[in-house]
Amino acid sequence: MEASVRKESGGATAAPSVFVFPPPPEELARGEAATLTCLAANFAPRDVLLTWTQGDAPVEPARFSTFGPQPDAGGAGTFSVYSKLEVPAAEWRRGDVFGCVVGHEAVGGVKFVQRNLDRSTARPANVNVSVVLADSDAVCY
């Protein structure tokens, strides 16, 4: 028995842009879980590998969900993939480092891009504040 695998050559190649996002403050306030997200965008061709690490160890695939790759809007011939990793809030709070690792043929050298995320590097982009004023005659100074 003989088998061969062939990949069509040609076509545009573009390395993915990789972005990681910390868990939303509203989720952390509940104290149960922390959902980390990773977006790899604007890459071509479609074939891509996306996985997660915790510290220096790979995360079991059953612990994260990956959606895509899907064609990007606008018909540019590029693709995007999104992944979310849910971890116990305690692991996030103690400062564990999580990494989103993306492998793609258009990435030079080692052919992987890793973006790390931990509690100390995650800064909220904005803060929503609600103020409720009671109708009273009291004066605040």
Q: Is residue 61 part of a domain?
A: yes
Number of domains in the chain: 1
pLDDT tens digits for 33-64?
999 999 999 999 999 999 999 998 999 999 99
List all residues 6 or more positions away from 131 whose beta carbon is below 8 Å from its beta carbon: none
- Tell me what percent of the chain is helix, strand and coil, each rounded to the nearest 5: 10, 40, 50
Q: Is residue 45 part of a domain?
A: yes
Indicate the pTM of the whole model: 0.76
Decide if pLDDT at 106 tops 90.
Answer: no
Q: Is residue 32 part of a domain?
A: yes
Q: Is residue 12 part of a domain?
A: no
Q: What CATH number is associated with residue 94?
A: 2.60.40.10
| CA–CA gap between residue 78 and residue 33 (Å, rounded) | 33
Going by C-alpha positions, the residue among 72, 69, 64 that lies closest to residue 49 is 69
pLDDT of residue 31: 84
Q: Is residue 38 part of a domain?
A: yes
Q: Determine the structural domain holding residue 41 and report its residue range.
A: 17-117
> How many CA atoms lie within 13 Å of 3's alpha carbon, on the beta-carbon side?
1
